[in-house]
Amino acid sequence: MAVQPGLTWNVKDSFVAYVEALDDGGAEVLSPASRLESGFHFPWGEAAPVRDPDNFAGALQFLGAVRFAGHWGALDVELRDPRIELAGGTGTLLVRERGGLDSGKMLPFAGLEVGPGVEEADGSLLLELTASLTGHGRLLLGGQYAVGQPLSPLQVAFPARHGRP
């Protein structure tokens, strides 16, 4: 089955389950993001970069947002336009700052560790990353989780290469 190119991530499974169990809680997906069975899907913000399964480095930009709300307004978390910056097998997941003076400011939400890339039968490439909460991420989630707390894994799907030998 062909994968949908972009970033798929469920943020933190227990957090999503908690928010959605609240009487007034929910997760709203803002376009062009969508929700898949495996998590929230953010499409590429630009053409997917050339992928190299042996050396993932650089910045990967995705579009859309997911907004978590509950507790009659006391819980209001938005994760917008995720950006992954990678170098040497590690990286950072950043999200756009909400409500600040600089609308382009990105905040480090999670530290990342890159797993192996897996080439699918259709020629697409899946990159698995593990994530752990940063100090900014802890604050964005209301201080309920410790810095370093594991988050849900991320999956980046690069589209199939055309014209490959």
Q: What is the pLDDT of residues 139-163, one digit of tens each?
A: 999 898 999 999 999 999 988 765 4
Q: Which residue has the higher pLDDT, 100 or 143?
A: 143
Residue 164 lies in a domain: no
pLDDT class for 1, splitting at 50, 70, 90? Answer: very low
For residue 79, the enclosing domain spans 6-158
Residue 70 lies in a domain: yes
Residue 1 lies in a domain: no
Residue 165 lies in a domain: no
pLDDT attached to residue 52: 63
Residue 40 lies in a domain: yes
pLDDT at 121 over 90: no
pLDDT attached to residue 53: 58
pLDDT attached to residue 164: 42
- What is the tally of structural domains in the chain? 1
pLDDT at 54 over 70: no
Angle at alpha carbon of residue 48, lines to 27 and 156, rounded to 5°: 45
Q: Which two tokens stand for residue 59?
A: 């910045």
Task: Provide the H-helix boundaries in 9-140.
Answer: 13-21, 135-140
How far is Cα 80 from Cα 123, in angstroms, rounded to an integer? 29
Write down the mean pLDDT value for the chain.
89
Residue 163 lies in a domain: no
Residue 119 lies in a domain: yes
Residue 61 lies in a domain: yes
How far is Cα 60 from Cα 142, in angstroms, rounded to an integer? 26
Q: Of 108, 112, 124, whose CA–CA distance to 88 is shortest?
A: 112
